[in-house]
């Protein structure tokens, strides 16, 4: 087992909801990144979680920036640090909305320019900060406040979009597997160029489950194969342990859907769509891992 440092960079006074995945993820990200790190945070739950001026619950510098601007702002920061001969980690910590929707242009630009930074998207599959509206990352069938009858469009394939930029490192992770997340952040920060980690963030109020179930929910996502843990270093894909097991014997996705209020009343068609997306992704990743693609 990897030794995870005892040092905490998230103090105990956050204003997050109970069971908040964003806080949990950020805690391990910062443990892996260490003190020589700057976070760039666009508008999202994490803007609020930090607490209210003059307090902050995060013990590394956090640069809060406009919703669409994180990756571009980080580009400038990264170049400036390099010019000054500094090795400070520049990490964007953004929600799914700030990544797949309003922030995608800046993200694409930064990755195309091979900006030396790590971009982490914590994906709670909706706009949490404004009270759970749909995002491009909301799965089909999920109810949000702007999709009261269940979302009709499929979740955007963010990883494929980022992969198309040939980043030095791309990985998925999940709030329920902090060891795995920790290792991935550490590895990403040893590499040069643009690195990307997409972390599933089961969100109690947004997904409508009770707040002590966050980790359980993440595990169900992985075991059902709806969320696949893998990493790709310079294009070489490895599927990680928990997902390898899930690919051999997944639990029914209904076990994952039925414990979340947001999927209440989901119809067969949407369930089938979710299933077939999951299967296709698994097949595709397996092929890539075997080097067939």
Partner 1 sequence: MYEIRIHSRGGQGGVTAARLLALAAFRDGKYATACPFYGAERRGAPVVSYVRIDDRPIRVYSQIRNPDLVIVLDPSVMEVVDVLHGLKRHGKVLMNGTTTEKIHGAPAFAVDLTGIALREKLVIAGSPILNTPVLGALAKMGIISVDSAKSAIREMFSDERNVRAAEAAFQELVI
Partner 2 sequence: MLTIATGNKAVAAAVKEVKPYVIAAYPITPQTEIVEQIAEYVTSGELDSRYIPVESEHSAMAACIGASITGARTFTATSSHGLLYMHEMVNWAAGARLPIVMANVNRAIGPGWNVWAEHTDAFQERDTGWLQVYVSTVQEAYDTTLMAFRIAEHADVILPVMVNLDGFLLSHSMQSLDTLNAGDFVPPLHLPHAIDVLNPAGYGTLTGPDEHFRFRWEIEKAMRRSRKVIAETERDFAERFGRSYGVAEEYRYEDADVVVIAMGTLGKEAEVAVDLLRNEGVNAGSLRIRWLRPFPDLDLSGREVVVIDRDYSFGFGGIIAQSLMARQRVDLYSVIAGLGGQEVTYDDIAGFVRERRPGTELWFGVNGNV
Binding-site ranges for partner 1 (CB under 8 A): 15-18, 20, 45, 48-49, 52, 205, 208, 210, 261
What's the rounded Cα separation, in Å, for the pair 181 and 4? 11
Rounded CA gap, 153 and 45, in Å? 24
Our CB check for ligand TPP shows the closer of 116 and 159 to be: 159
Q: Which of residues 56-95 bind partner 2 (CB under 8 A)?
A: 64-68
| Count of residues engaged in binding ligand TPP, rule: CB under 6 A | 15
Quick check: 194 binds ligand TPP (CB under 6 A)? Answer: no
Q: Rule CB under 8 A: is residue 161 a binding residue for partner 2?
A: no
208: how many CB neighbours lie within 10 A of its CB? 16
Q: Give the bridge partners for 63, in sequence order.
A: 40
Q: What are the tokens at 163?
A: 């992969």
Distance CA 154, CA 124 (A): 15
Closest CA to 110 of 92, 87, 85, 136: 92
Task: Give the one residue of 131, 235, 252, 265 binding partner 2; rule: CB under 8 A.
Answer: 131
Q: How many CA atoms lie within 13 A of 221 on its CB side?
A: 26
- The least distance separating ligand TPP from the CB of residue 11, rounded to whole angstroms, comes to 19
- CA neighbours closer than 13 Å in the CB half-sphere of residue 177: 25
Residues 107-146 that bind ligand SF4 (CB under 6 A): 124, 128
Which segment (20-28, 30-38, 71-79, 271-279) binds ligand SF4 by CB under 6 A? 20-28
Between 20 and 60, whose beta carbon lies closer to ligand SF4?
Answer: 20
The C-alpha angle 77, 81, 83, rounded to 5 degrees, equals 115
Among 45, 106, 118, 142, binds ligand SF4 (CB under 6 A): 45
Query: 160 in helix, strand or coil?
Result: helix
Is 204 a binder of ligand TPP (CB under 6 A)?
no
Torsion sign across C-alpha atoms 205, 171, 2, 81: negative
Contacting partner 2 (CB under 8 A), which of 37, 46, 88, 147? 147
Q: Of these partners, partner 1, ligand SF4, partner 2, none, which one is at the site of residue 133 (CB under 5 to 8 Å by kind)?
A: partner 2
Q: For residue 286, list its beta bridge partners.
A: none
Does 127 engage in binding with ligand TPP (CB under 6 A)?
yes
Which of these ranges, 76-84, 128-136, 214-222, 255-263, lies near ligand TPP under the rule CB under 6 A?
A: 128-136
The answer to whether 14 contacts ligand TPP (rule: CB under 6 A) is no
What is d(CA 166, CA 221) in angstroms, rounded to the nearest whole number?
Answer: 27
List interacting residues with ligand SF4 (CB under 6 A): 16-17, 20-22, 45, 49, 124, 128, 203-206
């Amino acid at each position: 087992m990897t030794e995870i440092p005892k040092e905490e960079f998230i103090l105990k006074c956050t204003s997050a909801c109970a069971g908040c995945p964003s806080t949990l993820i950020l805690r391990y990200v910062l443990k892996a990144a260490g003190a020589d790190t700057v976070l760039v945070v666009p508008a999202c739950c994490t803007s609020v979680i930090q607490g209210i001026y003059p307090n902050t619950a995060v013990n590394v510098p956090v640069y809060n920036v406009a919703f669409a601007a994180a990756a571009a702002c980080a580009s400038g920061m990264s170049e400036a640090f390099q010019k000054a001969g500094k090795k400070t980690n520049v990490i964007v910590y953004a929600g799914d909305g700030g990544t797949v929707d309003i922030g995608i242009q800046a993200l694409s630009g930064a990755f195309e320019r091979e900006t030396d930074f790590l971009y982490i998207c914590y994906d709670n599959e909706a706009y949490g900060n404004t009270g759970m509206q749909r995002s491009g990352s909301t799965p089909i069938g999920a109810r949000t406040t702007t999709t009261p009858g269940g979302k009709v469009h499929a979740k955007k394939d963010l990883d494929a979009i980022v992969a198309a930029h040939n980043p030095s490192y791309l990985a998925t992770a999940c709030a329920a597997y902090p060891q795995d997340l920790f290792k991935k952040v550490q590895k990403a920060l040893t590499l040069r160029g643009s690195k990307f980690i997409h972390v599933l963030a089961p969100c109690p109020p947004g997904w409508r489950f009770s707040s002590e179930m966050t980790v359980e929910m993440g595990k169900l996502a992985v075991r059902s194969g709806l969320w696949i843990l893998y990493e790709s270093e310079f294009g070489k894909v490895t599927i990680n342990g928990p997902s390898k097991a899930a690919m051999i014997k997944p639990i029914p996705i209904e076990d994952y859907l039925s414990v979340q209020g947001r999927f209440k009343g989901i119809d067969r068609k949407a369930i089938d769509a979710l299933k077939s997306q999951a299967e296709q992704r698994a097949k595709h990743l397996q092929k890539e891992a075997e080097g067939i693609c």
